[in-house]
């Protein structure tokens, strides 16, 4: 009895790991998030697919119910996959699932995936750890669970040279305000990458003071806010390409 917690990567199906693809091909049942690409699901050709993902405000299955579904499936099937966008261990409530499964004596194996921050870094061709400018990266989110105390994400964002802010583009004004109020210079370079790794990727760059304005330009896709001196060159590289992007796929 093993549940595989598998990272689906940032969106492009060919950014899936070989291990993830092998396990998906063997899967009897796949519980997946809304953001997982149809091409990735197709690899699980024998599996029953169950959408359990949460995209803020759109579709939600209570976490407790997901935990129970996973445990029930593990008792019935040989290969059960819980497929999560990006890396399963970052901002994906992996701990709650792992903890529940372990308490029910069900084995768990985690298959890492490419997280949005590294996909976004690739998308704009800017290193998150450029030598001489950035020696630390913080992955943060202002989002906390219902009833939880606010986190100290602002403190982490102030302490790190480069910051990747997940689940935040929808509240960019508040984010910028909080950071500036805490002492981050309004002129700090920022970038927003939407749909990183997909042909529909869109990129915006500017300063922290303009964050809300930049975020307002995003469409409907998942978007990551990036912050730090390394993005001072972002404005030059994010000009929307005319026509199709060159694709090595
Ligand atoms: N486990 C995932 C993150 C889940 S939280 C990972 O490791 O990437 C969901 C947030 O991730 C979104 O709100 C957005 O901020 C970010 N995200 C996910 N996919 C993205 C993509 N393709 N481009 C930009 N941001 C993305």
**Nearest residue to 91 via CA among 23, 1, 151:** 151
State residue 61's pLDDT score.
60
| CB 189 less than 6 A from any atom of ligand 1 | no
CA R_g for the chain: 19
**Is 76 marked active-site?**
no
For residue 10, the CA-to-ligand 1 centroid distance in Å is 7
Question: Which phi and psi angles does 74 have, rounded to 5°?
Answer: -65, -30
- The preferred substitution site among 15, 112, 166 for testing ligand 1, maximizing ligand atoms within 8 Å of CB, is 166
State residue 243's pLDDT score.
44
Q: Residue length, the chain?
A: 249
27-39 tens-digit pLDDT: 999 999 888 999 9
State residue 248's pLDDT score.
46
State residue 55's pLDDT score.
55
131-177 tens-digit pLDDT: 999 999 999 999 988 888 889 999 999 999 999 999 999 999 999 99
Among protein residues, the one whose CA lies closest to atom 11 of ligand 1: 166
Strands 137-140 vs 107-111: parallel, antiparallel or unpaired: unpaired
| CB 87 less than 6 A from any atom of ligand 1 | yes
What distance in Å separates the CA atoms of residue 220 and residue 149, rounded to the nearest whole number?
29
pLDDT by residue for the chain (249 residues), tens only, comes to: 899 999 999 999 999 999 999 999 999 999 998 889 999 999 999 999 999 966 554 445 688 899 999 999 999 999 999 999 999 999 999 999 999 999 999 999 999 999 999 999 999 999 999 999 999 999 999 998 888 888 999 999 999 999 999 999 999 999 999 999 999 999 999 999 999 999 999 999 999 999 999 999 999 999 999 999 999 988 887 765 444 444 444
State residue 53's pLDDT score.
66
* Selected catalytic residue, list 28, 54, 161, 210: 54
**Nearest residue to 27 via CA among 37, 39, 42, 38:** 42
- Which DSSP category does 55 fall into? B
> What domains, with CATH codes, occur in the chain?
2-111 (3.40.1010.10), 116-236 (3.30.950.10)
**Is 220 marked active-site?**
no
- The preferred substitution site among 57, 222, 238 for testing ligand 1, maximizing ligand atoms within 8 Å of CB, is 222
| CB 9 less than 6 A from any atom of ligand 1 | no
State residue 180's pLDDT score.
98
| CB 92 less than 6 A from any atom of ligand 1 | yes
């Amino acid at each position: 009895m093993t549940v595989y917690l598998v990272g689906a990567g940032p969106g492009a199906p060919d950014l899936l790991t070989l291990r993830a693809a092998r396990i998906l091909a063997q899967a009897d049942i796949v519980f997946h998030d809304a953001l997982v690409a149809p091409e990735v699901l197709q690899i699980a050709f024998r599996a029953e697919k169950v959408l359990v993902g949460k995209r803020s405000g759109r579709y939600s299955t209570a976490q407790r119910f997901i935990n129970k579904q996973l445990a029930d499936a593990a008792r019935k099937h040989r290969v059960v996959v819980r497929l999560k966008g990006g890396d399963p261990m970052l901002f994906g409530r992996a701990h709650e699932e792992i903890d529940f499964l372990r308490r029910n004596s069900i084995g768990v194996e985690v298959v890492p995936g490419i997280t949005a921050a590294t996909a976004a870094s690739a998308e704009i061709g800017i290193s998150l750890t450029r030598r001489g400018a950035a020696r630390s990266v913080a992955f943060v989110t202002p989002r906390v669970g219902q009833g939880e105390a606010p986190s100290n994400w602002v403190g982490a964002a102030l302490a790190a040279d480069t910051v990747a802010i997940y689940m935040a583009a929808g509240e960019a004004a508040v984010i910028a305000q909080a950071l500036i109020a805490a002492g981050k210079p309004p002129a700090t370079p920022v970038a927003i990458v939407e749909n990183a790794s997909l042909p529909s990727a869109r990129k915006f760059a500017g300063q922290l003071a303009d964050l809300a304005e930049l975020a307002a330009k995003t469409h409907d896709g998942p978007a990551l806010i990036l912050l730090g001196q390394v993005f001072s060159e972002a404005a030059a590289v994010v000009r929307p390409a005319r026509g199709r992007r060159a694709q090595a796929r």
